[in-house]
Homo-oligomer: A and B are copies of this chain.
């Protein structure tokens, strides 16, 4: 877990992940899409790969990178207790609002 956030802290890396969300991409494609230098792209991909965010396959001279879900799933898991926290708060807010005016507006959990 330790490094997941550090890795995502880098805007360019997040941008790369965003690109890979659509489909696998070559280094050159990323380089052009994000207007970054080739060594920079390679370095970030190295970091992302070491951390398991992406994997690559070789196609002739190209390397095609694609997303791997695991690290982001861990992030999702890390978030879980906080989700409980804020849903608790939203419930409280809702109850509060329900008490404020006696006319019940859109009811919870039922559109």
Contacts and interface: CB of A to CB of B under 8 A. Distances in A.
Interface of A: 2, 5-6, 8-9, 11, 14, 17, 21, 67, 69, 72-73, 75-76, 79, 81-83, 85-86, 89
Contacts of A8: 5, 9
A68 to B, nearest CB: 9
List the 3 shortest-distance A-B pairs measured between CB atoms, nearest first: A69-B86, A6-B9, A5-B9
26 contacts: A2-B11, A5-B5, A5-B8, A5-B9, A5-B14, A6-B9, A8-B9, A9-B9, A17-B82, A21-B81, A21-B82, A21-B85, A67-B82, A67-B85, A69-B82, A69-B85, A69-B86, A69-B89, A72-B79, A72-B82, A72-B86, A73-B86, A75-B79, A76-B79, A76-B83, A79-B79
